[in-house]
Structure 1
């Protein structure tokens, strides 16, 4: 499959995905009313084509030390570009052939870390905004240049308005600091460094908040409200569904089953995030 579709840019991929989606509409459209065409495109485009940790394992960082094939500076953008075009093609088919009778809606579920400036300096404030744009917004041509694929006028028209709703997968918050030298970007020459921001859950030696079990998951519930308000103001108040949220906890042999079943940390997590979500409505 990887050889056939290369890195999800081949025309066969888009054509076959539309066929697959239309089959789903035909078989399940009488019952399914909310469709997500892609889940976390930012994750699979960077993890699969920049650092090569996820399938199909393509990258070029450190002179192909970790991957035999790939281009970390271009392929993540090509993949993201094709995801938008494929979603738009599916949405176009659905609206023309199925929406009137099935009454469903289509969206994409985006993975979104919220970024807070590490300091109050203008440089870090701008770095936090760039980090947000490179994850949820549009990667800026001024920083990526001709490595960023272009849409034809007809493609742009197809993509515009193709989301009936926005899915948000939100778990955690990081600090963002301006990368003054962009040394990592110079060494790796990859898309992740293009934002010119260093993003970490630490500011110096101080963690941003209490940590769950995963090394990247810190519990910052107030960011749920901040993020929801940001999406509302930045993108014209689209319908939003929180499609993923939660935390993992350590499996400690020192905690009794009775105490573990109380699940107090997870209760605090959900209580906090849901309270701030409610405040954003």
Structure 2
């Protein structure tokens, strides 16, 4: 009897505690929603009519159901299963279960006054083997997601590849190292245009192909985990050649998919197609000529690696001179397909670094990063370049946004740009409900958007902005130890709680009643 009473009291205590936590979290939520947050003078009216505000995510990071409903494995599915690759050996098997909770998430976007959602389609959810047999359950999921968005007035922006190459193609011909990938990707893209293009009018081929090539084939910290021995913990690879081969095939794959879209679908569907490139702004550490050259080399090897061929039909001269014979060549027919193979360019912009000339001879063993021949610095005369977020690479440098966008305008003919990713992270173990009061994230978004607007006021042709990310989710190598979301996710219950930054966007994006 005594044991029973103790158990009863324990259960009662737990129940009261649960009620208290629930009430306190609801109170925190309600308190944040009631606050008038400082938008720094920003509003919808600050931006041109028709300017699109959205949030962004990727399939493996949010969907869950990674090995269910007919989805085939991607290179990330095997990589996450190797102990030690991901913080706390986390996986995207469940993640935040958008596969089942997409209506709730779309409803959140609508309530927060966003216009669009940049999501990615999992290639291996459509073609489990990368090609051939179609998984119609996967097709049905994306149809549900797209239709749900349209019902709520959210415009779908569909990205075809976000790091997740089907494992079958990696095993069959080395994935991005095999030129067969160009046709296979174009066939997959063609299927998506045909299947979803009556409703999806904004297409992107690849997200951050530079990251795919550099982290997958130069230092090998991402799958397929290939690199030369001095540069990482890989069993195979060649950092001097493979990053350039992979990048070349990514560019050709993008161009072939864009060609298919323009020839077969664009005239009737009236959509547009682009690619998403990451761009860290590189600022010279000093005013010296050597540091200025170092910063320019960094820009050429970073965004120029992909954008230069797309605009001018060739790799940057800097790369041609330094990489030499290791750099693949575009044939005349390639140039015709690659040049101007976009209607818009997506730029993912988060951070900036100082660059300097290390004044060192070229190393005997080379790789993509060594080819830059630059030094990275994060402070100047003991002043940090910016406050660091949780991720080691992410410093908050708002003026870098202005410089990056202006550089694209001036160097590449002012193309139509969407700012396709921007955001910052907190540690995954930030306590709840303190996590909801993400004032630093509010400051980040406000300051970066002000700098974006300044670049636009100075003539940059930017037509959209996407915050990364709507939800806390699986953050690649960091697993669940990093939170980028403007909506907090309890990773145990998967319940969603909008943070202060979410309500900041809601207020900033309110439409004036006429």
Mapped pair 1:90 → 2:257: yes
Shift of 1:187: 5.6
Q: Offset of 1:205 from its aligned partner?
A: 5.0
Deviation at 1:225, TM superposition (A): 1.1
What is the CA-CA distance between 1:249 and the residue it aligns to? 1.6
CA RMSD of aligned residues (A): 1.8
How far the C-alpha of 1:66 sits from its partner, in A, is 1.8
One of 200, 204, 208 as aligned partner of 2:385:
208
Q: 2: CA distance between counterparts of 1:205 and 1:222?
A: 19
Match of 1:241 in 2: 418
Q: 2:328 aligns with which of 128, 144, 149?
A: 149
Q: Which residue of 2 aligns with 1:46?
A: 214
Name the residue aligned to 2:369: 192
d(CA) in 1 for partners of 2:373 and 2:271?
40
Match of 1:274 in 2: 449
Q: Please name the residue that 1:6 is paired with.
A: 174
Question: Which of 415, 421, 440 does residue 265 from structure 1 map onto?
Answer: 440
Distance 2:275 2:428 in 1: 33
Name the SS for the 1:241 alignment partner.
Answer: strand
Give 1:7 shift: 4.3
1:206 CA drift (Å): 4.1
Aligned to 2:190: 22
Residue-pair matches, total: 276
In structure 2, the partner of 1:59 is 227
Distance 1:193 1:203 in 2: 23
Report the secondary structure of 1:246's partner residue. coil
Q: Matched residues in 2 for 1:204 and 1:85: separation? A: 44
Unaligned runs of 5+ in 1: none
Deviation string for 1:88-118 (max 9, x for gaps)?
1111111111001111111111111001111
3-state SS, counterpart of residue 38 of structure 1: strand
Distance of 1:3 and 1:228 partners within structure 2: 39
CA distance in 2, matches of 1:159, 1:165: 14
Task: Give TM-score, length-normalised by structure 2.
Answer: 0.52
Deviates more, 1:193-202 or 1:263-272: 193-202
Deviation track 1:149-196 (CA, whole Å, cap 9, x = no partner) reads 0011110111011011111111000010112115xx616511111111
Secondary structure, aligned partner of 1:120: coil
In 2, distance between residues paired with 1:89 and 1:103? 18
- Contact 1:61/1:189 (8 A) holds in 2: no
Quote the residue 1:120 is aligned against: 287
What's 1:132 paired with?
Answer: 299
Structure 2 distance, partners of 1:61, 1:230, is: 36
Which blocks of at least 5 consecutive residues in structure 2 are unaligned?
1-167, 306-315, 457-514
Q: Is the 8 A contact 1:7 1:75 kept in 2?
A: no
CA distance in 2, matches of 1:251, 1:54: 21
Tell me if the contact between 1:201 and 1:216 (Cα under 8 Å) persists in the aligned partners.
no
Please give the per-residue CA displacement for 1:192-243, whole angstroms capped at 9, x wherever unaligned: 1111111232347542111111111100011111111110111001000011
SS at 1:151's partner residue?
coil
Q: 8 Å contact 1:175–1:199 — kept in the other structure?
A: yes
**Larger Rg, first or second structure (1 or 2):** 2
SS of residue matched to 1:98: helix
Q: Distance in 2 between matches of 1:94 and 1:45?
A: 24
TM superposition shift of 1:5:
3.0
Question: Match of 1:32?
Answer: 200
**Matched-pair contact (CA < 8 Å) for 1:211–1:219:** yes
Compute the TM-score of the two structures, normalised by the length of structure 1.
0.93
For the residues of structure 1 that align with 2:348 and 2:252, how far apart are their CA atoms? 21
Within-5 A mapping of 1:168-187: 168-182=347-361, 186=363
**Corresponding residue for residue 339 of structure 2:** 160
